[in-house]
Amino acid sequence: MDNGESSYRRFLDGDDEGFDDIVRTYKDGLILYLNGYVNNIYTAEEVAEDTFFRLLTKKPKFSGKSSFRSWLYSIGRNIAVDYVRKKSRLQDVPLENIDEYISDETDLERAYIREEQKIAVHRALAMIPVDYRQILWLSYFEGFTNKEISVVMMKNERQIRNLLYRAKQSLKSELEKEGFVYEEF
């Protein structure tokens, strides 16, 4: 049983400190993963809050078929999908404020990703399709196994292996366009 699962069981048994442990442990990684999906750090924070709020209020059953982290990320992904669908019907950012949002997000990214090479990789990730960006993020930045990724992305492991291969090729192509010198993945 991993730490998240034990914290969640403690929370379900009435120990509010268990929920606090979950938020502390998974908040940052979840926000950064969701940012790759919704392309706005503020929205990613809201979706992460909604994910934790769903845990707090609905107390969904964790079956243990996957790791707690992949289960939590799949809940966040589902909430993000709902948000993106809803957003596609609504325009929620005034055009005159877009530069402010973009500059704030860039500053945040630069604080998190300090080295110049990592910034180039991050920019290249933004240029590839969402599924590719998600799978690379989960695999390399979050350290998920293919099995855990298959739970989050709702695909089988063979599809995950193929998608990961295509994602690496796409990222490599984007990096080459930028003149990036890279090491083998």
Kindly state the average pLDDT of the residues 56-76. 92
| More confident call, 104 vs 120 | 120
Please give the pLDDT value at position 8. 93
Please give the pLDDT value at position 170. 93
pTM, 2 dp:
0.65
Task: Report the range of poorest mean pLDDT among 12-26, 77-91, 93-107, 159-173.
Answer: 93-107
**Residue 11: pLDDT band by 50, 70, 90 thresholds?**
very high
- Does domain 113-180 fall under CATH 1.10.1740.110? My reply is no
Whether the Cβ atoms of residue 166 and residue 159 lie closer than 8 Å to each other: no
Where do the H-state alpha helices sit in the chain?
3-12, 16-38, 41-58, 68-89, 98-112, 116-127, 130-136, 146-153, 157-177
**Residue 158: pLDDT band by 50, 70, 90 thresholds?**
very high
**Residue 7: pLDDT band by 50, 70, 90 thresholds?**
very high
Please give the pLDDT value at position 113. 44
The mean of the pLDDT values for the chain is 83
Percent of the chain with pLDDT over 70: 78
- Residue 96 pLDDT > 80: no
Residue 14: which region, alpha, beta or left (left: phi > 0; alpha: psi -120 to 50)? left
| Spatial CA neighbour of 75 closest among 90, 53, 45 | 53
Distance of alpha carbon 129 from alpha carbon 127, whole angstroms = 7
**Residue 185: pLDDT band by 50, 70, 90 thresholds?**
very low
Cα torsion 119, 27, 72, 32 to 10°: value is: -20
HSE toward the beta carbon, residue 39, CA cutoff 13 A? 13
Q: Give phi and psi for 182, each to the nearest 5.
A: -125, 160
- CATH number, domain 1-91: 1.10.1740.10
Please give the pLDDT value at position 91. 55
Q: Could you tell me the CA-to-CA distances from 169 to 33, 143, 145 in Å, in that order? A: 20, 19, 19
Q: Mean pLDDT highest for which of 112-121, 123-132, 158-167?
A: 158-167
Kindly state the average pLDDT of the residues 52-73. 92
- Residue 157 pLDDT > 50: yes
Q: Where are the domains of the chain?
A: 1-91, 113-180
Where do the H-state alpha helices sit in 16-67?
16-38, 41-58
